[in-house]
Structure 1
């Protein structure tokens, strides 16, 4: 089965984040992070140490509270 580019497929977000911020004292771990991962997608975090990968995952799992969220 093939899908033409003209057909629209309804996609539901599995994860949707907009304007996420996290500070630890004066250190800004996340500044205005926005991302969307749709159902069925495979998503990976790549980056240097201190880039905010673990902090983001911990907030998604409710292990950390965000400093603020822009809506």
Structure 2
């Protein structure tokens, strides 16, 4: 299981993630979707 709780990340001058929380259970298939610049890549790093 992957658990993320209240994750916030800032680049200089820009908040990329603001209090993101989620759980991914073992064996599940999960998609991360959103518009360009929403922070998807930052979340996965």
TM-score in terms of structure 2 length: 0.94
Gaps of 5+ in 2: none
Aligned pair 1:20/2:10, yes or no? no
CA distance in 2, matches of 1:36, 1:20: 12
Question: In angstroms, what is the RMSD of aligned CA positions?
Answer: 0.6
Larger Rg: 1
Please identify runs of 4+ aligned residues in structure 1 that moved more than 3 A.
none
CA distance in 1, matches of 2:13, 2:7: 16
1:2-56 residue CA offsets vs partner (Å, 9 max, x unmatched):
xxxxxxxxxxxx2100000000012000000000000111001100001110000
Secondary structure, aligned partner of 1:34: strand
Out of 32, 47, 51, the residue aligned to residue 19 of structure 2 is: 32
Structure with the higher strand share, 1 or 2: 2
Matched residues, number: 45
TM-score in terms of structure 1 length: 0.61
